[in-house]
């Protein structure tokens, strides 16, 4: 007689809610142990650096065991967060099987972080000679028998089968630390024997302890970074270190735009409560003008990759929105084909949901260019940091009355200063100037946006 197949428990894994997501926070469980679950039920809320997403079940069964409690931060993608008992399976047996899963899920948070592990270990703990008697790291040849490195870096190098003699250190005095091993895994930062020595690494930033030692205890409040602030810091640092920024600035006369804006808003249809169907802002004109400018200068509507250039067919414009703890850049897709009223209403919806962190990943990922507008704060002009994978970002200042000269006569005009930051690998000076000139022509003659 054939044995009866037994139902097996299903591990519920931490989902990857975006292509770049590596960790997330388990904000809240919406089901409790013992609850019946159907496919499509929302069982938890997962918090990424940009948004809070609902996690839907993909199978039917009973929630046998919650492995990762709500409120847990930095849960690695694909780690087990719960166990689902399928129909016909004993719930207690499934819950028992979660013990191993729990240990697996705990590993990412139990591992020491590079920040703490990369501090020089005490001489007594490592058996290394004291700093006073140790030879200067810079005097040790890369091919020598000893390379100065952190304990974590040595472990990671051993696991990845990487020769420490070939790794370019970026720590103090050229010390190899964890991030150098991670870079070496992708082929970056490796020293080729016989090749010229690499340029001296940048000086390492002050550690947390070094910074706090500069200030008297009790003279400050310490607020730990949340995941959003950490990711913003990482990406902006990466942007400035890896993208050669180039800046172009010019002034735009927005007198005609302000007249057109007032006429459009006055003519907006109203509902029974007297609320207008739309209210166009200057920023809506800026989005539309940049989108059309990218269509007129298609060689600037690109994204750089090491293998080649991505030439985008549409103008997908990201717009920086300030939210508590940071910022997010929702993307207006196909902005060149959208009317000003559609762009305006879309941005109001994005901004409202961004502030409650309820944007979906596809609503803020990708895009071909971006806009950062600080005019509402009275900022006259500034230069914005490029948001990868974009090749350009337009920084928009306040529109204000300024003295200008027209046909030899002094006059007053409404002037708005804009600065275009470009990735010089993809959009060089002349091409950036061409794009900015196309933008200026459109923003100064708004009727051209509807032709």
Q: Which residue has the higher pLDDT, 299 or 75?
A: 299
Residue 446: predicted pLDDT: 95
Q: Which residue has the higher pLDDT, 310 or 111?
A: 310
Residue 75's SS3 state is strand
Per-residue pLDDT of 243-272, as tens digits, reads 999 999 999 999 999 999 999 999 999 988
Residue 41: predicted pLDDT: 87
Q: Is the dihedral of CA 227, 228, 229, 234 positive or negative?
A: positive
Confidence category of residue 117, pLDDT binned at 50, 70, 90: very low
pLDDT at 171 over 70: no
The burial of 365, by beta-carbon neighbours within 10 Å (0-12 exposed, 13-18 middle, 19 or more buried), is given as: middle
Helix, strand, coil percentages for the chain (3-state, nearest 5): 35, 25, 40
DSSP per residue, 347-413: HHHHHHHHHTT---HHHHS--SEEEEE-GGGT-----PPP-TT-SEEEEEEEEEEEEEEETTEEEEE
DSSP per residue, 17-73: -STT--EEEEEEESS-TT-EE-TT-EEEEEE-SS-EEEEE--S-EEEEEESS-TTEE
Residue 362 annotated to the active site: no
Residue 135: predicted pLDDT: 36
Q: Which residue has the higher pLDDT, 19 or 313?
A: 313
Per-residue pLDDT of 304-358, as tens digits, reads 999 999 999 999 999 999 988 788 999 999 999 999 999 999 999 999 999 888 8
Per-residue pLDDT of 396-409, as tens digits, reads 999 999 999 999 99
Give me the domains of the chain, ranges plus CATH numbers. Answer: 10-114 (2.40.50.100), 121-206 (4.10.320.10), 230-450 (3.30.559.10)
Per-residue pLDDT of 201-210, as tens digits, reads 555 678 888 8
Length of the chain: 451
Residue 15: predicted pLDDT: 85
Mean pLDDT of 175-185: 78
């Amino acid at each position: 007689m054939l044995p009866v197949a037994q139902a097996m428990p299903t591990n519920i894994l931490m989902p990857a809610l975006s292509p770049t997501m590596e960790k997330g926070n388990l904000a809240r469980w919406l089901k409790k142990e013992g609850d019946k679950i159907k496919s499509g039920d929302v069982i938890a809320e997962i918090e990424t650096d940009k948004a809070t997403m609902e996690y839907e079940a993909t199978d039917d069964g009973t929630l046998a065991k919650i492995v990762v409690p709500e409120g847990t931060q930095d849960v690695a993608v694909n780690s087990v967060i719960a166990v689902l008992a399928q129909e016909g399976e004993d719930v207690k047996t499934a819950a028992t099987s979660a013990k191993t899963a729990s240990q697996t899920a705990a590993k990412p948070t139990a591992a020491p972080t590079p920040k703490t592990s990369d501090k020089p270990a005490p001489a007594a703990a490592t058996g290394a000679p004291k700093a006073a008697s140790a030879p200067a790291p810079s005097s040790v040849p890369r091919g020598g028998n000893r390379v100065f490195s952190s304990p974590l870096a040595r472990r990671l190098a051993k696991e990845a089968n990487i020769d420490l003699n070939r790794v370019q250190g970026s720590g103090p005095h050229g010390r190899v630390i964890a991030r150098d091993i991670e870079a070496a895994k992708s082929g970056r930062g490796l020293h080729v024997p016989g090749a010229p020595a690499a340029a001296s690494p940048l000086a390492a930033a002050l550690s947390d302890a070094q910074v706090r030692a500069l200030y008297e205890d009790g003279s400050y409040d310490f607020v730990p970074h949340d995941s959003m602030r950490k990711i913003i810091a990482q990406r902006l640092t990466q942007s400035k270190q890896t993208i050669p920024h180039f800046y172009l600035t010019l002034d735009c006369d927005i007198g005609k735009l302000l007249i057109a804006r007032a006429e459009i808003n006055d003519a907006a249809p109203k509902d029974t409560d007297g609320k207008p169907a739309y209210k166009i802002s200057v920023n809506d004109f800026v989005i539309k003008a940049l989108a059309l400018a990218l269509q007129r200068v298609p060689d600037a509507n690109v994204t750089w990759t090491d293998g080649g250039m991505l030439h985008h067919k549409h103008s997908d414009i990201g717009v920086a929105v300030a939210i508590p703890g940071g910022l997010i850049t929702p993307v207006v897709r196909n902005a060149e084909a959208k009317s000003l009223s559609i762009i305006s209403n879309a941005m109001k919806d994005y901004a409202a949901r961004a502030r409650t962190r309820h944007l979906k990943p596809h609503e803020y990922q990708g895009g071909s260019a971006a806009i950062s507008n600080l005019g509402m704060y009275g900022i006259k002009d500034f230069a914005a940091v490029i948001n990868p994978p974009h090749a350009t970002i337009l920084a928009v200042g306040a529109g204000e009355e300024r003295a200008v000269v027209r046909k030899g006569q002094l006059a007053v005009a409404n002037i708005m200063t804009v600065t275009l930051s470009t990735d010089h690998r993809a959009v060089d000076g002349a091409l950036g100037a061409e794009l900015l000139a196309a933008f200026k022509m459109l923003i100064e003659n708004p009727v051209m946006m509807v032709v």
